[in-house]
Amino acid sequence: MLIQELNQLYGRQMPESDLPESLAQLPTLERRPAILLTDKHAQCQRCGQPIDRRETQLPDGSCYCGNCIQLGRMRSTDNLCSLPEPNRFQK
Ligand SMILES: [Zn+2]
């Protein structure tokens, strides 16, 4: 799934690899690691599920979340991006 329009991104969290360059350069874009890594385990920041790093390890040493893979494979090397809703800051 490719996000082309800004309003598709509001309030959502998208892997940075899904963003076109024009959106990835927005100064208001917030990024955080897609997967929090600890010694043996990892936690997906999109669906919140724990990840077994050994079961999902990729050749380059990163891992991915198998729980929300239907939304697109998200690797530990990815960032999750979100944009604050614009009306959140209006007075
Ligand atoms: Zn997940």
Sequence ranges of the domains in the chain: 6-89
For residue 90, how far is its CA from the centre of ligand 1 (angstroms)? 32
pTM of the model as a whole: 0.76
For residue 7, how far is its CA from the centre of ligand 1 (angstroms)? 23
Beta strands 14-15 and 50-52 are: unpaired
Tokens of 55: 């079961």
pLDDT at position 63, please?
93
- Class of residue 63 by CB neighbours under 10 A (exposed 0-12, middle 13-18, buried 19+): buried
For residue 38, how far is its CA from the centre of ligand 1 (angstroms)? 16
User: From CA 30, how far away is CA 64, in angstroms rounded?
Assistant: 21
Kindly report, residue by residue over 6-53, the tens digit of the pLDDT.
Answer: 777 777 888 898 888 888 898 989 999 999 988 778 999 999 999 998
For residue 33, how far is its CA from the centre of ligand 1 (angstroms)? 12
For residue 84, how far is its CA from the centre of ligand 1 (angstroms)? 21
pLDDT at position 71, please?
87
For residue 56, how far is its CA from the centre of ligand 1 (angstroms)? 12
